[in-house]
Amino acid sequence: MTETAGGGRDAEAVSQFVESFAAQLVEAGMPRMPARVFAALLSSDEGALSSAQLGEQLQISPAAVSGAVRYLAQTHMVSREREPGSRRERYRVQGDQWYEALTNREAVLKRWETALREGVTSLGADTPAGRRMAETLAFFEFLDGEISALMQRWRVHREKTFGS
C-alpha cells in the first residue's frame, strides 16, 4: 500500500508533482530551491507550511528553506506568518499569488521605462542605439498597457469563476 500525504493523498505522487512542477519553474528561470519550496507550498492543502515541514518534505536544510523563502517573499509569491501561540513562522502561498507577482512586475516595468527614456535622451533618438532604445521603450510601454488590461480581465474572470 502507498503511504498517503495529508487528506489521504499519495505522498509519492505529491512528491513527484512537486519535483515536476518545480522543474518547469526552473526551466522558466526560477532558481531551483525557491521553485521546489513554492511547488510544495502550492500543493499543500492549507497553502502554508513551517520551515521544519518544508525541510522534511523536500529533504533540505533550514538554511536552504530560509534562502528559498527569502527569494519567494521578495517576489511576492509567498508571505510569512506566525504560527498561533508560537514564535515559529509559517510560509503561505495565496490563491492570487500569480496576480500579485505579475502586478509587482508592473513596478519593475515602470522603472525600466524611466531608464530607457533616459537612454534614448542620452544616446540621441536619431542614433542607431537611440532607435533601438526607443523601440525597447515602446515595447515595454505596450506591455505595461496590455498587462493592466489583462489584470482587469482576470479580476472579472476570477470573480465569476471563484467568487470573492
| Domain harbouring 38, CATH code | 1.10.10.10
Indicate whether 79 and 108 sit together in one domain.
no
Q: What is the mean pLDDT of residues 24-29?
A: 93
Q: What is the mean pLDDT of residues 140-148?
A: 88
pLDDT of residue 5: 52
For residue 138, what is its C-alpha cell? 515602446
Indicate whether 84 and 47 sit together in one domain.
yes
Give the list of residues 6+ apart from residue 90 with CB closer than 8 angstroms, or none.
Answer: 48, 49, 50, 80, 81, 82, 83
The tally of domains found in the chain comes to: 2
Indicate whether 57 and 105 sit together in one domain.
no
Q: What is the mean pLDDT of residues 77-93?
A: 86
Indicate whether 11 and 86 sit together in one domain.
yes
pLDDT band at 6 (very low <50, low <70, confident <90, very high): low
CB 11 within 8 A of CB 5: yes
pLDDT of residue 144: 85
Indicate whether 48 and 21 sit together in one domain.
yes
HEC per residue, 100-129: HHHHHHHHHHHHHHHHHHHHHHHHCCCCHH
Task: Examine the pLDDT at 134 and tell me if it is beyond 90.
Answer: yes
Segment 30-46, tens digit of pLDDT? 999 999 999 999 999 98
Task: Examine the pLDDT at 4 and tell me if it is beyond 70.
Answer: no
Indicate whether 86 and 102 sit together in one domain.
no
Look up the pTM and report it: 0.71
Angle at which helix 32-43 crosses helix 62-74, to 10 degrees, equals 80
Task: Examine the pLDDT at 128 and tell me if it is beyond 70.
Answer: yes
pLDDT of residue 27: 94
Q: Decide which of 71, 92, 113 is a domain's last residue.
A: 92
Q: Decide which of 30, 59, 92 is a domain's last residue.
A: 92
Indicate whether 10 and 61 sit together in one domain.
yes
CB atoms under 10 Å from CB of 5, counted, come to 16
